[in-house]
Amino acid sequence: MNAEAVREVARELPREPGVYQFREGETTLYVGKAVDLRSRVRSYADPRSARIRRMVDRADDVEIAVTDTETQALLLEANLIKRHQPRYNVRLKDDKSYPMVQLTNHEAARIEVTRDPNEAATVFGPFTNKGRVETVVKALRETYGVRGCSDHKYANRDRPCLDFEMGLCTAPCTREIDLESYAEDVTAVRRFFEGETGILADPLRREMERAARGKNFERAANLRDRLETVEAFHGEGGEAVQSFGDERTVDVLGVAVEGETAVVARLRSESGKLVDRDRHTLEAPAPDEGGYGAGGASGSGGEGVSPVLAAFIVQYYAERRLPDALLLPERHGDAEVAAWLEAEGVAVRVPGAGREAKLVELALKNARRNVGGRDECGMLTDALGLESARRIEGFDVSHAQGKSAVGSDVTFVDGNAEKGDYRRKKLTDQNDDYDNMRALLEWRARRAVEGRDDRPDPDLLLIDGGAGQLEAARDALEAVGWDVPAVALAKAEERVITPDREFSWPRDAPHLHLLQRVRDEAHRFAVQYHQTVRDEVKTVLDDVPGIGPETRKRLLGRFGSVENVRNASLEDLESVSGVGEKTARTIKERL
């Protein structure tokens, strides 16, 4: 649309509040709100930035929706941005990529760390530190015996499983505990996640002191570390938010912007105690271009921070209960957002000193952590023409001339290894890398299609190898019907191979480095598992010249495992009966 076309469209619009969409065919390019639709849309005849000018040039239509009030326009804009994810808006990404904890809606509730919670479950989070969450969940299970097994495993059991023997579950499946008592334990777990830290910290502290009195210092140290994790879970340093009047819930926001990526860190305080923290990523076009039309404001505290704050507040809280107060690093600068918050009774403060200012600084530190780390994902997305490359799974196979064949499946999210989502598989022994890769990808694809894999589908699959391995992987995906993009990365020339072409990116390209990290980690994980499998069947020692069954038995008896044999010095090896200097050197070379 040119300037005259925009003015012509604007002349037909009402002077009422509402929401407008610039569209290209069926695609929404931009969503904005307005107190006066005619005046706001007409302002796009003379855009204030090159980016918005490109958006207007691409658009071929403007669609509007009139609302009764400015607040309705505000919330409708937030819903439309979430639904259409328009390219030219500041937009909040889905926070389901962060781990959450759910208690299932079952007669004997199950506790589970998940990224895709069930709608009927009681859900807590999201959290940013999966390792800390898993430590806390294990401590809760050891303390209160809440089950972690699937409903399928729970049903129709006639005796408790291993979790009961290990003290991780009280076995409601076989009524070792009655359901009423079990429900009380589930309530205790729920109270912990609602902020009652002592309900888990106190039993851990008693057990730690008991272990110390019994001189079981290793267990006492383990419990001490776990107790520190639990006490840090709901807060940091005991800081509290000062309450004013009837304020019970206070959210503290910090913002960091780098390029077209912004991160908002949120701290939640309830009754003066920090109980939760999370981080959210927004795609943030340059200032004056994101979701605020001609009336946007940047504020004095940093280019682009104010529009990001306004966009986050509306999009995040449109579907959540608002807190009693918001603490911000600077004013958000949006009159409609201010009117909405005032109407909802939310106090907004920008603290300059004191305890609240310290918490704003803590939120800012959380926001600034790795804020630029997502750029390489965006660069990879653009380079390969994908919708996203946030979540990548890497695959490799390892074997010794067809023996002890295994496959690895590693996961990276936002450029970082997500080790809790690593998987590995033993494969049928065969000296064929293509067939091994085909079998590995078929296994992964079937688990996804049949709903047996609890991980989200990745945005991209990376195959360690060349065109042959990629073709084998794609054959498996097509046979199963799992539609996920796949590329390969060969070590020799570091060329990225796709089904249609090959890329030779500069050696210092950040998106190439990302693929290399995924590829190398998949290779490391596969080789590590292959060594474990080889050691399990003792093929390594069996293949060493001069090592017969009796000498092998003495070596394992002396060192305990093949891994310890591998790490032993020549002198230690020679101390074993039947192992001379030559044999010891052969062992070191072979292992």
What is the CATH classification number for the domain harbouring 544?
1.10.150.20
Confidence of residue 59 (pLDDT cuts 50, 70, 90): very high
C-beta separation of 277 from 195 below 8 A: no
Among the listed residues 193, 332, 198, the one whose alpha carbon sits nearest the alpha carbon of residue 270 = 193
Structural domain of residue 209, as residue ranges? 97-233
C-beta separation of 81 from 89 below 8 A: yes
Which one of 27, 55, 89 terminates a domain?
89
Q: Are residues 263 and 152 in the same domain?
A: no
pLDDT of residue 128: 54
Give per-residue pLDDT as tens, 229-286. 777 776 533 343 444 556 688 999 999 887 777 888 888 887 766 666 677 878 766 5
Among the ranges 89-93, 124-128, 478-482, which has the highest mean pLDDT value? Answer: 478-482
With tokens 């404001």, the residue in question is 297
Whole-angstrom Cα distance, residue 479 to residue 442? Answer: 8
Mean pLDDT of the chain: 82
Written as one letter, the residue type at 28 is: T
Look up the pTM and report it. Answer: 0.37
Say what percent of the chain tops pLDDT 90.
Answer: 28
Other Cβ atoms within 10 Å of 302 Cβ, number: 15
Residue 243 belongs to some domain of the structure: no
Alpha-helical (H) ranges within 106-241 are 130-144, 151-154, 162-165, 179-193, 198-213, 217-233
Question: CB under 8 Å to 459, separation ≥6 — which residues?
Answer: 386, 387, 388, 389, 390, 391, 392, 484, 485
pLDDT surpassing 50 at residue 113 = yes
273-283 vs 391-400, strand pairing mode: unpaired
pLDDT surpassing 60 at residue 328 = yes
Which one of 369, 400, 431 terminates a domain?
369
Whole-angstrom Cα distance, residue 335 to residue 222? Answer: 53
Say what percent of the chain tops pLDDT 70.
Answer: 87
Q: Are residues 382 and 494 in the same domain?
A: yes
Residue 36 belongs to some domain of the structure: yes
pLDDT of residue 301: 34
Other Cβ atoms within 10 Å of 538 Cβ, number: 12
Residue 244 belongs to some domain of the structure: no
Whether the upstream peptide bond of residue 458 has omega within 30° of 0, thus cis, is no
Domains identified in the chain, total number: 5
Q: Are residues 355 and 400 in the same domain?
A: no
Q: Once rounded to an integer, what is the mean pLDDT over residues 98-111?
A: 85
pLDDT of residue 174: 92
Give per-residue pLDDT as tens, 382-437. 889 888 888 999 999 998 888 888 999 999 987 878 888 999 999 998 888 899 99
Enter the tokens of residue 67.
């609302």
pLDDT surpassing 50 at residue 139 = yes
Q: Are residues 384 and 530 in the same domain?
A: yes
Residue 520 belongs to some domain of the structure: yes
Provide the terminal-to-terminal Cα distance of the chain, rounded to the nearest Å: 70
Enter the tokens of residue 479.
């046979």
pLDDT of residue 577: 83
Q: Once rounded to an integer, what is the mean pLDDT over residues 158-186?
A: 90
Alpha-helical (H) ranges within 194-347 are 198-213, 217-233, 305-317, 335-343
CATH number at residue 475: 3.30.420.340
Which one of 319, 336, 369 terminates a domain?
369
pLDDT surpassing 70 at residue 375 = no
Whole-angstrom Cα distance, residue 441 to residue 193? Answer: 38
Give per-residue pLDDT as tens, 535-582. 554 446 667 777 877 787 778 777 767 777 888 888 888 888 888 888
pLDDT of residue 44: 92
pLDDT of residue 395: 96
